[in-house]
Amino acid sequence: MRAALAALFGPATAPGPGAAPGAAPAPARPGGPPGWWRRHRVAVAVVVVFLGLTLLAYALSTRTSSRPLAPDNAEPGGARAAAQILGEQGVRVREATSLAQVGALAGPGTTVLVTDLGLLGEEQRAGLLSTGADLVLVGATFGTLDGFGALTPGGAGSTHPVPARCADPDATAAGEISFTRGSVTAAPAAGAVVCFPVGTAGAGAYAVWHHGDQTLRYLADSRLVTNAHLAEAGNAALTLRMLGHHRDLVWYLPSPLDAGSVDASVPTVPVRAALVGAALVAAVVLLALARGRALGPVVTEVMPVVVRAAETTRGRGRLYRRSRAYDHAAAALRAGTATRLARTLGVPASADAATLQAAVARATHRPPEQVGDLLHGAPPADDRQLLALATALDTLESEVHRS
């Protein structure tokens, strides 16, 4: 103990006259200037906070998505390569995940890319047309182009390069595409130009038509836009030309939970308000980090309960019901039923809706029109109609299994 005190305060001095025997003198209060930490601790704190905010901003800015066809997804199924090349060519690519965002960003003189038609109901499709923007639509299995024109997607395709063979300048510049899974056929009233012919007469992998002053383009196989296949054949030329007609491109990634509508009157957040909000969020994060405990390594523990898959399904159903998204719920039910029926009956995924309807009609001895109304009919308008549709689809699937 004495050695430790000596190391801290130095050697003891002899007691002065009149001091009590054995009494140690009181240590003198240091009267020198404050230490380095006291003089610079504010500056150090400011530097640490600044570096933390810089690292946080860098981490947020470099984060990428893993969603298929997302413009910031660098995986093979993403479309980051196409988005970056368009940006280098002067096209401003802005991502939207809701119809309200599309309405605020799109308008005449812009292009809207729709990556998943299967999640759009009748009202959402009409809302996209009401923006006045040119639309680029990509295909989906068992999807339809209802609301956009008299065109019908099909299951014809090719695993070999397909030449353009049409008068459209974009397709002509591309020359050929490396392959296609799916096709589209246009009725004479549609006035569409169909390119890259495959399968039966009149079917092709790409179509261009007009709706008033708007130009609509449909690409049957969305894989041509992805990072994995963009550099093959003329895929890049076709992709960049059909998406680069205007300076502004809205890259719309539909969500199953988006039951809203296009409303271009929604005001955007002012820049000053956004800066103030970002500063408040940063302050809250710093306060939480200062007052919170130090985070240690992640500890794996056994869950006290087992969450069944049915609970997840019920939770999504409650979200649909709360937002009254009857069309989205019906689309999900129909898509799931169609996929299971196709697998049960041995119908390939590239087949069109008519092929699946015919197969189900033969298995259940129902009229094809009735099967088509169940799988691709109008969306329900209330809970009662949605429940009736679910019951009818379940009965249809049971009849196929019993056949």
Q: How is residue 165 written in tokens? A: 């063979």
* Helix/strand/coil percent split, the chain, to 5: 45, 15, 40
pLDDT tens figures, 50-106: 777 767 765 655 456 788 999 999 999 999 999 999 999 999 999 998 899 999 999
The average confidence (pLDDT) of the chain is: 82
How far apart, in whole angstroms, are the C-alpha atoms of residue 315 and residue 108?
Answer: 39
175 torsion bin: left (phi>0), alpha (psi -120 to 50), beta (else):
left
User: How many other C-beta atoms can be found within 10 angstroms of the C-beta atom of residue 21?
Assistant: 5
How far apart, in whole angstroms, are the C-alpha atoms of residue 204 and residue 168?
Answer: 13
Give the mean model confidence (pLDDT) for residues 256-265: 63
Does the pLDDT of residue 321 top 50, yes or no? yes
Is 0.85 topped by the overall pTM? no
Which secondary-structure segment (H or E) carries 26? none
How far apart, in whole angstroms, are the C-alpha atoms of residue 171 and residue 205?
Answer: 10
DSSP label of 382: S
pLDDT tens figures, 342-387: 999 998 988 888 998 999 999 999 999 999 899 988 899 888 888 8
